[in-house]
Amino acid sequence: MRDVLDELVKRYEAGETVGLATVVATFSSAPRSPGAAMMVTQNDEAFGSVSGGCVEGAVYDLGQRVIENSQPVMQRYGVSDDDAFAVGLTCGGILDVYVEPVSQESFPEFGELAESIRSEHGVALATIIEHPDISRVGKRMVIWADRVAGDLGTTRINDAVVDDARGMLATGRTGTMHYGPEGQRRGEGMAVFVASFEPPPRMLVFGAIDFASAMARLGSFLGYRVTVCDARPVFATKSRFPEADEVVVDWPHRYLAAEAEAGRVDARTVVAVLTHDPKFDVPVLQVALRLDLGYVGAMGSRRTHEDRLDRLREAGMTEAELSTLSSPIGLDLGARTPEETAVSIAAEIISLRWGGQGDRLVATAGPIHREHL
């Protein structure tokens, strides 16, 4: 929903009814992940995508039908990769797409949900997408860490789903949960799709240099909340890093330690140390490599890297801690410019996140799209 949120809010506030299509499950090499959304309007417009162009035409027609009859629909698209062209999902794989009407009448809690997403307060939306009693399909509940809005039908269902949805929200997971018709943990018959809208992951770039400017631009493009930090106020200015969400003047190790202490970094946070100056690098890496972060990389030549490792060992870092450091930083793309180097770093972050090998796809076999590690 996040990718169509602005347009959806506009239509909702105008009193329109729209058809909202959401990918709720994928199999094989499907091109979009659960949570990808497409919106169809009453005046024949479409926003977003559920398959990268493969089945959007069919989903558009389904969305128009949902607007007309106000009844949600679940539809499966695609078969095996070999037969994919025959059914329209030309990239192969299988998508389960849930299409529902959204309006002020059908979804009175949407305003609160949208406000939480926009203000980056963690929130989850749980929707019954399958149930033996068709009248229960489409019931929703908006779930925060400390409260809920909406009702899924019974106290037992509410309690089970709220408990599971909060667990999914805490880890940033989106997916479908299965229960018995009355919320039984080991039953089947009811499927509930939980969309988690956690705050965007953070990218912390240490070192206010030209490479950091390129990294901030690319990090923002990839959906990270980017912070550039440097102890030198003459370099760490907002005018030099307009794409960064914040520019901080502080010693990198002190800033990172304070953010960790405040709980503002997590397993999705990525750290890029670009200063290649030991008086900055070593202290901040001592902090970073002892945190549970998604990625820690440091710029520098192989000689700089070996010198850095020696300094970190002298500072008491263990081999296990040092093994999580990506240095020299990035994938071997032959990068030369700051922008190319930023692409190299981003490619390594993406590869580690999804379990890719960084190989050319033309030289590999098997599914292109991988499950999250």
Express each pLDDT in 253-278 by its tens digit: 999 999 999 999 999 999 999 988 89
DSSP for 23-78?
Answer: EEEEETT-SS-TT-EEEE-TTS-EEE-SSTTSSHHHHHHHHHHHHHH---EEEEE-
Is the confidence at residue 85, as pLDDT, over 90? Answer: no
Residue 198, token pair as written in the block: 């956690």
Express each pLDDT in 349-372 by its tens digit: 999 987 888 888 888 887 766 554
Higher pLDDT, 64 or 55: 64
- pTM of this structure: 0.69
By percentage, how much of the chain surpasses pLDDT 70?
Answer: 93
CB 194 within 8 A of CB 125: yes
Express each pLDDT in 90-143 by its tens digit: 555 788 999 999 999 999 999 999 999 999 899 999 999 999 999 999 999 999
Look at residue 199 in the predicted model and tell me its pLDDT: 83
Nearest to 281 by CA among 272, 293, 294: 272
- Tell me which residue has tokens 């991988």: 370
Average pLDDT of every residue of the chain: 91
Report the DSSP pairing between strands 270-273 and 202-206. parallel
Express each pLDDT in 308-350 by its tens digit: 999 999 999 999 999 999 999 999 999 999 999 999 999 999 9
Distance (Å) of CA 230 to CA 128, 182, 220, 258, 285? 48, 55, 18, 15, 14
Question: CA 292, CA 260: separation in Å to the nearest integer?
Answer: 10
pLDDT class of 89 with cuts at 50, 70, 90: low
pLDDT class of 86 with cuts at 50, 70, 90: very low
Express each pLDDT in 183-220 by its tens digit: 998 889 999 999 999 888 899 999 999 999 999 999 99
Q: Which alpha helices (H) appear in 197-291, and where do they start and end?
A: 210-221, 252-261, 278-288
Mean pLDDT of the 162-188 span: 90
Q: Strand pairing partners for 140? A: 127
Look at residue 81 in the predicted model and tell me its pLDDT: 46
By percentage, how much of the chain surpasses pLDDT 90?
Answer: 78
